[in-house]
Each structure stands twice: as C-alpha cells, then as structure tokens.
Amino acid sequence: MFSAETPIHAGLQPSITSIGKARLREDVLHSTHKGKYKKNRRGLKHLQKLQPALEHLLHEGEVIFYAARVQAPVNVLDQLTWGWYLYYVTGTVLVFTNQRLLHVRIDAGSKWLRIIQSCAWSDVATFKVAGWLSRTITITFKDGKKRRYWAVPARDAKLLAKLVPHLLEAHAGSVSAQGTMRSLCPECKGVLQESVYACAGCGMVFKNERLMIKLAFIPGGAYLYCGRWFLALVDILGESYAVILLVTGVVLVVDALLHPAQGAMSVALMGLVIAGMIFGLDVVITIHHCRRLVREFIPTKKRDRAEPAANLTMSASSGG
C-alpha cells in the first residue's frame, strides 16, 4: 500500500490536513509538477463541495492526494447527438487517493449526483496523459478495458503525470481485485453488478433500462425518468412533431383508401414512411442518451423488497 506520508516532490515535505473528516495531502494538491507551491483553488473548491460525499466514501486510512475536474469518456455517437449538453452529462471529478481512484459524477454546480465509481490502483495497468491544447487521460485496466477522460486542465494533467506513476509502482505487486472500474452503491458502498439495478447489500433501487426504453416512446418520458428536464422539454417538442407527422401520414393513407385517386396512395405512404423514420430516429437517439445515464446507476428512494444479501462483497477497491 502507498503510504499516506510518502514524499512526491523532493523540495516539499509531506503535509496532511483535513477537509471535515476527510484527510488531504495539501503539499500535493497545492503544488505544480515541478514541486513548487501554488495554491490550487479550483481543486480545493471541488473537494470542499464534495466534502460530505468524501467523508462517507473514504475508507479508514485513505488520504486524498489530488482532485481534478474532467469530462467522462464519450464515443462518436455521443459527440454527434449531445451537442453542447455533452459537458453537462459528463462532468466528473477524479479523486486520487493513496488507495484508489474515485470517479465522482457532478452536476453543473459541482454537486455530487450520488453516482460513484471506483478502482484500486492494483486494477490499473497504465495511466497516460496526452495532448497539448486539449489534454486527455487514458487509463487501461487489467481486464483490457480503456477509459479516455478529456478536457483535463493543463496544470492537473502535468501534476498527475508525475503523481500517478508513484501510486502504480507502490501497488505493482498487489493482486487485482476487480480488474476494472466498478460502480458503487452511494448508500452502503457495495460493488454494483452491471445491468442489475438494485444493490444486493442495502436494497437501494436504481433507475432501470427496461422502463426507460418503454418511456422513450412517450415524448420527453425517458429524459424525465433520468432527471434531465431540459432535454425532456426539447424531446417533447421534437418527438411530438414526429408523432403529429405520423398521425397525419396514417390519416392520409386511410383517406387514400376511402377516396382512391391517382398517385394519392403513393404520396400518403411516402409521407407515412418519412414520418416513421423521423419518429424512429428520435426514439433511437433518446434510448442511446438515456441508456448512458441509466448505466451510471441513478439512485431512487425505493428499496428492494427482497432480503439484502448478508455477505455482500464490499468494494474491493480499498487498495493493498
């Protein structure tokens, strides 16, 4: 395990302070990659806003070394369909401790969305910082999966390029517990299983894909289900228009059947097909957007009626 008092910079002595009950290596947070003191107001602000969450999430003996506001990984379809709103649905603070890496999802105001993912340093194979004008962090896990975080501030990228190798080296001989980054229950901190939208430990229920897909056929329904009110309003306008076109197409087909005229049926069917394609495309994009959100495990206030597992395997990402 990486000692909480291990020096990172030759010219700075290790200094541990507190943010509430959470412990912080202020000599690392408030330093440059060259080991010179420079107050990190942005990083400190994020940690202060996340203080209640971190006090709940951190393990005994766990010390925060650094925190960076980044954007979570996206694919090409995300970039093509989300537009500027992509920045709101990918806002993340990466918290680097002596035991593990925490992926904390936040809203536009840096408030924790009660969505948390974690991995031990023994689960990480490589950690690479790249880019010049736009910095990125690419993490390769022991199971072969990769994550590419983007919009990483230059100061953070340079500091992490120096810090993380120390953490990986200290855990090089440790056994990989889960091999990748896994979602945790925000209530009991137990590891959540993919596609299982209820915590086996405490019974917390999360938004699920099955209901989301059904709601995607109702204008705005899936976005409202995922708590995205602005997108719901946009979808209500767009999908309602598609529904109107679809109904109009059906009416034209019926009218062509009742009142046959040369070319009327062809025009009606063409209009119906186009309306169906517009409606179908809207539904597909909605499902793609909301599936990403749901798979992050959006908590609800409900509890699973089934008896929680007595011996839940708690987060193996405690390091070591």
DSSP secondary structure string, 181-199?
Answer: -EEE-TTT-BBPPTT--B-
CA angle 288, 292, 297 (to 5 degrees): 140
In 80-145, DSSP assigns E strands to 91-97, 100-106, 112-120, 124-130, 135-141
212: CB partners within 8 A, 6+ apart: 222, 225, 226, 287, 290, 291, 294
| H-state helical runs in the chain | 26-29, 41-49, 51-57, 76-82, 86-89, 154-170, 209-215, 221-225, 229-258, 264-294
Strand partners, 128: 138
pLDDT at 316: 40
pLDDT at 306: 58
Distance, C-alpha 30 to centroid of its chain: 26
pLDDT at 313: 41
- 16-202, what's its fold? PH-domain like (2.30.29)
Q: What are phi and psi of 69, to 5 degrees?
A: -85, 120
Please count the other Cβ atoms lying within 10 Å of the Cβ belonging to residue 259.
8
pLDDT at 145: 94
pLDDT at 253: 82
| pLDDT, block means (10 residues), the chain with 320 residues | 85 91 95 93 95 94 96 94 93 96 94 96 95 92 95 96 94 83 96 95 95 95 95 89 83 82 79 85 94 96 64 41
Residue type, 191: V
Q: Which of 22, 201, 8 is nearest to 102 (CA)?
A: 22
pLDDT at 238: 84
Bridge-based pairing state of the strands 22-25 and 63-71: parallel
In this structure, the chain runs to a length of 320
pLDDT at 310: 41
289: CB partners within 8 A, 6+ apart: 81, 82, 89, 222, 223, 231
In this prediction the pTM is: 0.88
